[in-house]
Structure 1
Amino acid sequence: MSYKETVMSAMPQISPLNATGDAAHLLAELKKSVGSVPNMAKAMANSPALLRGWMSLSDALAGGVLSTAVRERLALATAEYNRCAYCLSAHTYLGRNIAKLDGDEIERARHAESADPHAAALLALSDAIARGRGTVDTAALESARAAGVTDAEIAEVVGNLALNILTNYFNLVADTDNDFPLVTPRPRS
């Protein structure tokens, strides 16, 4: 079921039933591991290298020090910042149903905030890195460290930011049909 207002993506979606070669193998692996194949992955299957890269980085970061709840908050903040309705919709769904974030915490994450002080420090750092396009002043790093953020967490914030920018930009370019309940970015003030 599509929740998107438009009818067609700008990039074809390769059905797991019609995929061949590496694309077929990767889509089958994704379905086995998560139970379904989202439209983003079907569109990424146009380049098995991209699909493999996204899956590998996602899996690697899932095994890192940042919890699922923190990673979902980071994804929400980045999707809101980059105005990606597909990712905002997907991570609102995942945040609520997988990471068990409540509505207030999901809303806060969209603004790079959290009621949890440690998560708030991670979100503030990620937001500073995104807004600085990779450049961050020492005060932002010192503030994160003062809140107990470790070097491993700082490294993984950068990794998650890269992963989220990848999916945000891909879905914006591909105009991926949304297969999650639609959540739209807030108007910029």
Structure 2
Amino acid sequence: MTRMPLIELDEASGTAQELLTQVKKGMGAVPNMTKAMANSPATLKGYLALSGALAGGVLGRKTQERLALNLAQANGCDYCLSAHTFTAPRVGLTEQDVLDARRGTAADAKSDAILKFAAAVLESRGAVSEQDIADLRTAGVSDEEMGEIVANIALNVFTNFFNRAADVEIDFPVVDSSAVTVS
């Protein structure tokens, strides 16, 4: 059971209502995560601002989804894993792509390098090695992309930790992070 109230759009007021209306307009629905975030309009506003800014960045949606799946798996966030497994086909990821991303791999060299870099950033808390950077550059990742990779990691760690701390009820087909072995 969710540890904080889920603020329903029709019960919200002020800034929370404005933000939840924005979520509904953009997504067609209001996911439980954003309903929980609405308890703190500043939290929801921050989430929407960063995710909106990154949506307009240079990383493609497939890469962003791969990162979200990989980080949800690594952080044991079944809410985010369920949400991103549900949305992955909409950006063109196959079931195999989803499983690969959860395991930290991808069929193409650039996506694979990005996922390996994300694992290094997460494991080292940002203190990556020169080799980690060299591997990204060898795979053709630009400085702009590298910045957005780190920003996407921060966004996903935020949502992973928020959902785990709040124990937000999953409102997508449930995916269990313990069901996949990560090497």
Residue 167 of structure 1, CA deviation: 0.2
* Residue-by-residue CA offset, 1:118-165 (whole Å, 9 max, x unaligned): 111111111110011111001000011011011011100000000000
| TM-score normalised according to structure 1 size | 0.93
Residue 23 of structure 1, CA deviation: 0.1
Matched, 1:35 2:28: yes
Match of 2:2 among 6, 9, 19: 9
SS at match of 2:58: coil
Residue 112 of structure 1, CA deviation: 1.3
Match of 1:87 among 68, 71, 80: 80
Instruction: Tell me what 1:165 maps to.
Output: 157
Residue 90 of structure 1, CA deviation: 0.4
Matched, 1:127 2:114: no
Instruction: Tell me what 2:140 maps to.
Output: 148
The 5-angstrom pairing of residues 51-130 of structure 1 reads: 51-96=44-89, 98-130=90-122
Query: Which runs of at least 4 in structure 1 moved beyond 4 Å after TM superposition?
Result: none
Q: Name the amino acid aligned to 2:57.
A: G
Match of 1:50 among 43, 46, 70: 43
More helix by share: 2
Q: How many aligned residue pairs are there? A: 181
What is the root-mean-square deviation in Å for CA atoms of aligned residues? 1.1
Residue 11 of structure 1, CA deviation: 1.1
| TM-score normalised according to structure 2 size | 0.96
Paired with 1:149 and 1:18, the residues of 2 have a C-alpha distance of: 45
* Residue-by-residue CA offset, 1:5-58 (whole Å, 9 max, x unaligned): xxx211110000000110000000111111111000000000000000000100
Match of 1:179 among 165, 171, 174: 171
Residue 186 of structure 1, CA deviation: 2.5
Instruction: Tell me what 1:3 maps to.
Output: none
Instruction: Tell me what 1:22 maps to.
Output: 15
Residue 60 of structure 1, CA deviation: 0.2
Paired with 2:117 and 2:104, the residues of 1 have a C-alpha distance of: 9
